[in-house]
């Protein structure tokens, strides 16, 4: 900063000297006296300058116009954060999980061993840990995802935004947390997609089915429904009515699983709850009737559905909870569990839902056979199908369902299945079962 020049140019000695060059000698004594007076004035002015001028302080201090000093300091460099040690643990677990998944892809026998003996421990443990929570923890996590994202953004802005290094550390921390979902996936359900197929485990021949075989299997469903219909109550809306509450239904399904698991040891059984979804009505728009939350071990079902679908759906999610990963296989295990129950309504749910799976491919293979089977259905069952069609009309074509189906289809294909079509592939297993 420049110092101010307090000297008046009119009192400059050099200027005065130049003005006297042409003066005659007779004026010299008078001029000398004037020069002495000017020199004394200059000295006094210099002293005043020294007194009035403020010495600039050392360092980065600045001098204000009033003569006060103002110290300025460089901003300290941001502290470089380090990745927490726990994040390295999470990454290590993810690497181990990836290795296990690769080995399972390469070895079907190892996948079966891991799914039956190791992953089953994880599934059971998580189910027991979350069983005491009266609501679905998995659903709550999904609901809170937007809040969690906003919270993470706020934390990142306040604690990590001072340098790109710290931003990178924050991203690595978040990635380590996300990697835990992959760890849970591998150690709970993921390896089930790589094991032997259900038809191999049940020792049935899964082959391409014919129209005659489809009709034969559909006729079996119709015969069973005719036997059960007299024991079923129906409402004025055309729907059947479940004769007990939800908790009793789950207990009856678990009793049926006890029977099935004795016959098929590859299913590790335990007793755990099936949780209802709080947002069942919105879920219906997504066409989601149930979901197994692998990161919490919970089987969840949408209860905004007709009664006759609920036992079958609950049995399906319980199959996932016991390591049956593929959708068509979970559907068929659910059917076997329902018909193994000693309760008529749960049996009715199994046969009615399996008939619906058979009806569409039967119509495609032979419309005449389809209408013949439909005509032989008990009138109560036909009324229930009409009631279901009317109920589902407002949910059938929605943007939400399109997006949901696309996401689910992608997820299933990434796991080596036929995508959303795999649900209907239960027909092949049913036909093969009754062919045997």
- Can you give 8-25 as a three-state secondary structure string? CHHHCHHHHHHCCCCCCH
Q: 10-residue block means of pLDDT along the chain (436 residues)?
A: 46 44 45 51 52 49 54 66 91 96 96 95 94 93 90 86 86 93 94 94 89 95 97 95 96 96 90 92 91 94 96 96 94 97 97 95 94 96 95 84 77 69 79 90
- Cα–Cα nearest to 214, from 352, 354, 349, 377: 354
CA distance 204 to 430: 10
**b (16+ CB within 10 A) / e for 168-177:** ebbeebeebe
8 Å CB contact between 369 and 215: yes
10 Å CB burial of residue 345 (0-12, 13-18, 19+) is buried
Q: Please give the biggest Cα pair distance in the chain.
A: 152
8 Å CB contact between 263 and 368: no
Task: Please give the model's pTM, rounded to 2 decimal places.
Answer: 0.79
Which residues on neighbouring strands pair with residue 241, listed in sequence order?
Answer: 233
8 Å CB contact between 215 and 427: no
- Cα–Cα nearest to 277, from 246, 300, 295: 300
Domain ranges (residues) in the chain = 9-70, 85-193, 199-435
CA distance 119 to 116: 6
CB atoms within 10 A of CB 353: 23
pLDDT of residue 411: 72
pLDDT of residue 27: 44
**In Å, how far are 214, 328, 380, 427 from 218, measured between CA atoms?**
6, 17, 17, 10
For residue 203, give the 3-state DSSP assignment: coil
Which residues on neighbouring strands pair with residue 274, listed in sequence order?
Answer: 299
pLDDT of residue 44: 53
8 Å CB contact between 142 and 286: no
CA distance 98 to 35: 98
For residue 32, give the 3-state DSSP assignment: helix
8 Å CB contact between 93 and 183: yes
Who contacts 38 (Cβ-Cβ below 8 Å, separation ≥6)? 11, 13, 16
pLDDT of residue 9: 44
CB atoms within 10 A of CB 242: 21
Question: Directed axis angle between helix 108-117 and helix 119-131, to 10°?
Answer: 30
DSSP tag of 305: S
pLDDT of residue 80: 82
CA distance 359 to 371: 10
- Cα–Cα nearest to 301, from 311, 291, 309: 291
pLDDT of residue 63: 52
| 65-84 per-position pLDDT tens digit | 555 555 555 566 777 888 89
Which helix (H) or strand (E) element contains residue 433?
helix 426-435
CA distance 274 to 290: 10
Pairing of strands 290-293, 233-234: unpaired
CA distance 101 to 332: 25
- Cα–Cα nearest to 425, from 348, 355, 332: 332
- Cα–Cα nearest to 80, from 193, 134, 159: 159
Which residues on neighbouring strands pair with residue 233, listed in sequence order?
Answer: 241
């Amino acid at each position: 900063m420049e110092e101010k020049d307090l000297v008046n140019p009119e009192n400059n000695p050099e200027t005065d000297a130049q003005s006297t060059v042409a003066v005659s000698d007779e004026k010299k004594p008078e001029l000398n006296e004037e020069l002495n007076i000017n020199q004394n004035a200059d000295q006094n002015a210099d002293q005043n300058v020294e007194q009035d001028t403020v010495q600039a302080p050392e360092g980065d201090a600045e001098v204000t116009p009033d003569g006060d000093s103002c110290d300025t300091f460089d901003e300290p460099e941001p502290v470089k954060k380090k990745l927490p040690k726990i994040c390295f643990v999470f990454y290590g677990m993810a690497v181990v999980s990836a290795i296990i998944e690769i080995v399972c892809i390469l070895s079907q026998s190892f996948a079966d061993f891991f799914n039956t003996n190791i992953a089953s421990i994880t599934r059971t443990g998580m189910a027991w840990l979350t069983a005491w929570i009266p609501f679905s923890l998995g659903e709550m996590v999904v609901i809170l995802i937007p809040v969690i994202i906003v919270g993470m953004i706020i934390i990142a802005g306040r604690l990590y935004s001072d340098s790109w290094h710290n931003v990178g550390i924050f991203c690595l921390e978040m990635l380590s947390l996300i990697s835990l979902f992959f760890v849970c996936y591998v150690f709970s359900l993921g390896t089930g997609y790589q094991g032997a197929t259900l038809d191999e485990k049940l020792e049935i021949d899964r082959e391409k089915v014919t129209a005659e075989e489809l009709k034969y299997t559909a006729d079996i469903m119709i015969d069973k429904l005719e036997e059960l219909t007299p024991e079923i109550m129906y409402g004025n809306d055309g729907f059947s009515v479940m004769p007990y509450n939800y908790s009793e239904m789950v207990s009856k399904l678990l009793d049926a699983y006890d029977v099935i698991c004795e016959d098929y040891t590859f299913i590790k059984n335990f007793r755990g709850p099936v949780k209802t979804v709080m947002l069942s009505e919105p879920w219906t728009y997504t066409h989601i009737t149930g979901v197994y939350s692998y990161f919490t071990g919970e089987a969840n079902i949408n209860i905004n559905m007709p009664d006759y679908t609920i036992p079958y759906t609950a049995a399906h999610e319980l199959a996932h909870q016991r390591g049956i990963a593929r959708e068509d296989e979970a559907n068929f295990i659910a059917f076997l569990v329902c018909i193994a129950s000693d309760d008529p309504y749960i049996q009715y749910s199994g046969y009615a839902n399996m008939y619906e799976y058979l009806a569409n491919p039967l119509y495609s293979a032979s419309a005449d056979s389809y209408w013949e089977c439909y005509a032989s259905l008990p009138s109560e069952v036909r009324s229930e199908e009409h009631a279901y069609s009317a109920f589902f009309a407002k949910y059938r074509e929605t943007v939400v369902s399109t997006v949901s189906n696309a996401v689910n289809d992608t997820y299933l294909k990434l796991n080596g299945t036929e995508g959303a079509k795999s649900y209907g592939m239960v027909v092949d297993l049913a036909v093969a079962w009754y062919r045997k």
